[in-house]
Amino acid sequence: MERELELVPREIIREHHFADGSSVALPGGSRAAQIDAIDQLGPGLGDQWAAYVGAFADDWDVLRRNYFERPWRPEVTDKAVVHRIFTRESVAKRVKSSFRGKDDRLRLMAAHPFVIEGHDPRDVPAWAGVVSYLEQNFGAWTVPGGMGLLAEVMTNRLATRKVDVRTGTTVTDIVVRDGRAVAVATDSGEIDADRVVCAIDPRLLPALAPHVRRTLPAIPPVVCHLGLTGDDLPEIPTEAVFHGDPMLVVRAGVRAPDGARAVTILGRGLLSEDIVIALTRRGLNLRDHVEVRIDQSPRAQVEHWRGSPMGVLWQGRSTLRDRLSTRTPIPGVFAAGAHATPVRACRTSVCRVRSSRRRSATSDSDGDLQRLEDLQRRLGPVEGVEVQARGSPANNSSQSSAATLMPSARTAAGSPSLALIRATTSSGTLVPINSPWRRIALRLRIGMMPGRIGMSTPRARTRSTSSK
């Protein structure tokens, strides 16, 4: 691809315009340049911004090696890395603690990448702010001719390698046999495949939909595409952010007929008037130059793309467990795009997150086995369990007996004639199998290692008896 495309750096990443009339042109690739630019807003603000961005250096070093550049496997990852990724600190909290003055402009600059994409900064983990660190240290790059050229180059490159590219083909599902993907179901029949890469909303595919049932899509912003003509066109930056309610983002296109300009306006927030008029009130008047206009509401975009182009909505740190990763739970199926990359703003990195959600059990025995594995994964080592014949009263102690679960744990748990009743943790705590794990986790120390499942000890049985 590097032979086909030439990346061009953008000297100015974006301009920020604020409600008080002040503005700043934020350069990329230089800490000193950003300090000088932001100091124009007020003395000392540049150093505050540099301190905020510099605090992500450790996050980037850890996440790059353990999260961005290799498949995410929490079971073999250092606990410190897991703690950093699943931090309780949000972007909103980090921004508030970094900029304690009365000047809100730096807070708006730091939070805008998430707000424009439909997220609440209170629900986004703090490390996602590393996008500001990447822009300061590596800058922003673009493709001459627009990012649409990337699709054309990829299509031509694939054709050179004898790859059959079929556009306009509707995919309805992924065909799974014997536990792995073997084909793709389309409106014109099945297409055999050894590997499948899903770059659309997985909710559209019945094979993947159960794995993302806990997630919500991020609502797209209002979009307005303009074709401008005229000799006295105002100066339009590559990207300009007009902070306020609504927040407006103007992005200049690079492909337009001679003598014309292409512009895209994004609107997020309380937009009670025409978006072009709202932009005029912010100081950028394009009304007299509009030759072509295409408006797209959030609903129209979802219908057009068959899903949200913004990907998955951040709902706290649990979102990382609920969404798909680049590796999906189905062997042979991989995911890409906005629905597989947790930080959509980090366009220079591919974030790999391992989904820990599994399909729900389809029978009582499968449900017991699933709950046992869930208990072991969430609460750490399990010393033993009690089983009972299915159909027997749960409170009849004469019907229940301790069972050996090592090495026959899975056999006992999957038996259609036995039901798991209780489990005893390594600390001697008696846990009902069907207890809600979130409430239990608040009372018990959660172990990071899966632990061994062994024979119930006499002490554990004594505790079980006394607890009854």
* Higher pLDDT, residue 317 or 466: 317
* Higher pLDDT, residue 146 or 121: 121
Per-residue pLDDT at 343: 55
Residue-wise pLDDT for 318-328, tens only, equals 888 888 888 88
Q: Beta strand 8-10 with 12-17: parallel, antiparallel or unpaired?
A: unpaired
Return the closest-CA partner of residue 404 out of 432, 383, 430, 389: 383
Question: At a CB cut-off of 8 Å and minimum separation 6, what does 13 contact?
Answer: 26, 27, 28, 135, 139, 140, 239
Lowest-confidence segment of 119-128, 363-372, 449-458 by average pLDDT: 449-458
Per-residue pLDDT at 10: 87
Return the closest-CA partner of residue 34 out of 93, 106, 101: 106
Domain ranges for the chain: 8-142, 222-305, 364-467
Q: What is the mean pLDDT of the chain?
A: 76
Mean pLDDT score, 186-209: 91
Residue 451 has pLDDT above 50, yes or no: no
Residue 246 has pLDDT above 90, yes or no: yes
Peptide bond into 202 cis (omega under 30): no
Residue 73 has pLDDT above 90, yes or no: no
Per-residue pLDDT at 384: 55
* Higher pLDDT, residue 347 or 4: 4
With bands split at pLDDT 50, 70 and 90, how would you rate the model's confidence at 399? Answer: very low
Mean pLDDT score, 224-243: 90
Residue 104 has pLDDT above 60, yes or no: yes
Please tell me which of 310-314, 419-423, 441-445 the model is most confident about, judged by mean pLDDT. Answer: 310-314
Return the DSSP state at 371: H
Please list the residues that pair with 239 across neighbouring strands: 251
Mean pLDDT score, 292-298: 93
What percent of the chain clears pLDDT 90, i.e. is strictly above it?
43
136 contacts 29 by C-beta, under 8 angstroms: yes
Mean pLDDT score, 53-57: 94
Lowest-confidence segment of 207-221, 344-358, 360-374 by average pLDDT: 344-358
Distance between CA atoms of 317 and 309, rounded to whole angstroms? 21
Tokens of 255: 């492909």
With bands split at pLDDT 50, 70 and 90, how would you rate the model's confidence at 436? Answer: very low
Residue 401 has pLDDT above 50, yes or no: no
With bands split at pLDDT 50, 70 and 90, how would you rate the model's confidence at 381? Answer: low
What percent of the chain clears pLDDT 70, i.e. is strictly above it?
71
* Higher pLDDT, residue 230 or 52: 52
Per-residue pLDDT at 468: 37
* Higher pLDDT, residue 49 or 398: 49
Domain range 222-305, CATH class: alpha beta
Prediction pTM value: 0.70
Per-residue pLDDT at 446: 31
Mean pLDDT score, 372-385: 51
Distance between CA atoms of 400 and 418, rounded to whole angstroms? 10
Question: At a CB cut-off of 8 Å and minimum separation 6, what does 2 contact?
Answer: none
Per-residue pLDDT at 380: 52
With bands split at pLDDT 50, 70 and 90, how would you rate the model's confidence at 300? Answer: very high
Residue 109 has pLDDT above 90, yes or no: yes
Per-residue pLDDT at 466: 39
With bands split at pLDDT 50, 70 and 90, how would you rate the model's confidence at 152? Answer: confident
Q: Is 323 exposed, middle or buried (0-12, 13-18, 19+ CB in 10 A)?
A: buried
Residue 173 has pLDDT above 50, yes or no: yes
Distance between CA atoms of 20 and 47, rounded to whole angstroms? 21
Per-residue pLDDT at 2: 67
Mean pLDDT score, 263-285: 93
Residue-wise pLDDT for 405-425, tens only, equals 333 333 344 444 444 445 555
Return the DSSP state at 235: P
Lowest-confidence segment of 3-17, 148-162, 293-307, 352-366 by average pLDDT: 352-366
With bands split at pLDDT 50, 70 and 90, how would you rate the model's confidence at 52? Answer: very high
Provide the strand spans (E) within 243-358: 247-252, 260-268, 290-296, 333-335
